[in-house]
Amino acid sequence: MRGDAHLVLIGMMGSGKTTVGRRVAERLGRRLRDSDAEVEARTGRTVREIFETDGEAAFRTEEAQALAEALDDPEPVVVAAAGGVVLDPDNRARLRDAGTVVWLDATPEELARRVTRGSHRPLLGDDPLTALRRLDGERRPLYEEVADHRVPVGGRPLDDVVADVLTLVGAPA
């Protein structure tokens, strides 16, 4: 596949993939591709609208397409991959071939403190902590399976997390 030197950030909602991705992309002089933003741009609908009108399975189909397109980019890019991409075995296979996959990891308790309930996070519902605990239980083994590296993010300044990620890809922090 082309573009085999991407840097892909994975992890749960609220782990900081987009924020860290933006900073890292800037430092590396690469483009940031955010899978949720690309789903919204491709469909002209918000993630919440797709969930509410067509259901989660329809969203996952759009998400897989957006991820595949981002990873097919001929230029090395930074990809902020939405939290649920690891659920799909084909996505996991793509991620394993994509370049460097970094898991931004935090406990559900930490995530519940950090997460914002935006228009793209319908799964958080009225009780984000309970939702995050359930999702963490389902997904932790999948993040472990595809990640080349795990960076803890709980209780750490953004600058430190960015520096860790840059170091992992051999860039001076």
Give the residues lining the site for ligand S3P (CB under 6 A): 13, 17, 36, 47, 82-84, 120-123
Q: How far is the CB of 143 from ligand S3P (least distance, A)?
A: 11
Could you tell me the smallest distance in angstroms from the CB atom of residue 7 to ligand S3P?
16
Select the residue whose beta carbon is closest to ligand S3P and give its number.
Answer: 83
Do 58 and 50 meet the contact criterion of CB atoms below 8 Å apart?
A: yes
Closer residue to ligand S3P (CB): 22 or 171: 22
CA distance 43 to 84: 18
Residue with smaller CB distance to ligand S3P, 17 or 30:
17
CB nearer ligand S3P, residue 26 or residue 138: 138
> For ligand S3P, which is the closer residue by CB, 11 or 76?
11
**DSSP single-letter state for residue 32:** E
Q: Name the residue among 6, 12, 11 with its Cα closest to residue 31.
A: 6
Q: How far is the CB of 59 from ligand S3P (least distance, A)?
A: 7
State in angstroms the smallest separation of the CB of 172 from ligand S3P: 28
The Cα 10–Cα 150 span in angstroms is: 9
DSSP 18: H
Residues 79, 72 contacting (CB under 8 angstroms): no
